[in-house]
């Protein structure tokens, strides 16, 4: 058993489209606190096949349960033979002042990076947690295919999916996002989170800004293409998300990008469930 899961606790288990949806809790060495995650194993994995692993990173106010319960992704994941990993967004219960206000101003939510500033730097290590602990441990524990990894997310989690995919070249074979924060260095959510976690020197922020990272690539990182869906009735679009910045960066380096803009759709899970099957097919094409 992988050491990261020596104290793995199964919280619940649910039969789902011939597979199984589970929720777990474990003590994280990287975070230094208990963490929770969800895992959907398709029927192919239940019967012993080594299937690809697709990790979904959720947004502000969400937990490890949100995508699993609201997106309706398990039906198509079962058909395509994809395991779905849904981490929690953030450390919980650290007792840091301001943690309880996380959802009001950004700091406190994980933003899928390793904080360098006190008091956040002790536990807010979401990048290391995912890349060094949770994903490797899940691959080993559940017999999943380590060579076929995909990453996607929503809002703050869309930011996480894009930045982690660009910061760790070759680690993921596919990436997509719903309404991602594409240029956090340019928006209020990003300013507050980055100033808290990384300090007030803005030049350090670009290492966690998807648009800046994309513009710095020496070659096309995802020649098979990146898929992004964005609702035009999203109340956060103009001030917080800036998909046009990522679109421009992709154009500059020749990165294929399918950026679909949808009239009438907002930022929530009715939007995600409307297009999640397309994202699963996008990943399956690259992973299978």
Instruction: Report phi then psi at 47, rounded to 5.
Output: -95, 10
The strand pair at 53-57 and 83-87 is best described as parallel
Report the distance separating Cα 95 and Cα 267, nearest Å: 30
> What does the pLDDT look like over 21-36, one tens digit per residue?
999 999 999 999 999 9
What per-residue confidence (pLDDT) applies to 100?
47
pLDDT digits (tens, 9 = 90+) for 157-177: 999 999 999 999 999 999 999
Over the chain, what HEC string results?
CCHHHCCCEEEEEEEECCEEEEEEEEECCCCCCEEEEEEEECHHHHCCCCCCEEEEECCCCCCCCHHHHHCCCHHHHHHHCCEEEEECCCCCCCCCCCHHHHHHHCECECCCCECCCCCHHHCCEHHHHHHHHHHHHHHHHHCCCCCCEEEEEECHHHHHHHHHHHHCCCCCCEEEEECCCCCHHHCHHHHHHHHHHHCCCHHHHHHHCHHHHHHCCCCCCCCCCEEEEEECCCCCHHHHHCHHHHHHHHHHHCCCEEEEEECCCCCCHHHHHHHHHHHHHHHHHHHC
pTM of the full predicted structure?
Answer: 0.96
Taking residue 107's Cβ as centre, other Cβ atoms within 10 Å add up to 22
Per residue in 168-225, pLDDT tens? Answer: 999 999 999 999 999 999 999 999 999 999 999 999 999 999 999 999 999 999 999 9
Express as a percent the part of the chain with pLDDT over 90. 91
Task: Give Cα 140 to chain centroid, integer Å.
Answer: 20
Q: List the catalytic residues.
A: 155, 234, 267
Residue 5: per-residue pLDDT: 87
Q: Please choose, from the candidates 172, 150, 58, 64, the residue with its C-alpha nearest in 3D space to the C-alpha of residue 112.
A: 58
């Amino acid at each position: 058993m992988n050491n990261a899961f020596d104290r793995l606790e199964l919280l619940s288990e649910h039969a789902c489209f011939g597979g199984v949806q589970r929720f777990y809790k474990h003590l994280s060495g990287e975070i230094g606190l208990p963490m929770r995650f969800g895992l959907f194993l398709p029927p192919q994995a239940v019967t012993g096949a080594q299937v690809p692993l697709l990790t979904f990173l959720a947004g502000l106010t969400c937990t490890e349960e949100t995508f699993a319960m609201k997106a309706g992704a398990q039906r198509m994941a079962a058909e395509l033979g994809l395991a779905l990993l849904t981490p929690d967004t953030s450390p919980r219960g650290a007792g840091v002042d301001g943690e309880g206000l996380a959802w009001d101003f950004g700091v406190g939510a994980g933003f899928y990076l390793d904080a360098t500033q006190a008091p956040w730097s002790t536990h807010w290590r979401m990048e290391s947690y995912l890349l060094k602990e949770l994903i490797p441990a899940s691959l080993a524990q559940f017999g999943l295919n380590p060579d076929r990894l995909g990453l996607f997310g929503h809002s703050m989690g869309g930011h996480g999916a894009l930045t982690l995919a660009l910061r760790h070249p070759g680690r993921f074979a596919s990436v997509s996002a719903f309404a991602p924060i594409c240029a956090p260095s340019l928006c209020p959510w990003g300013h507050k989170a980055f100033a808290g976690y990384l300090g007030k020197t803005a030049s350090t922020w670009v290492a966690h800004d998807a648009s800046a990272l994309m513009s710095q690539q020496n070659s096309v990182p995802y020649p098979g293409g990146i898929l992004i869906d964005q609702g035009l009735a999203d109340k956060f679009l103009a001030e917080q998300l800036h998909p046009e910045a990522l679109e421009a960066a992709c154009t500059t380096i020749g990165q294929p990008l399918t950026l679909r803009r949808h009239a009438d759709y907002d930022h929530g899970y009715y939007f995600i469930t409307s297009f999640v099957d397309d994202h699963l097919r996008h990943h399956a094409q690259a992973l299978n």
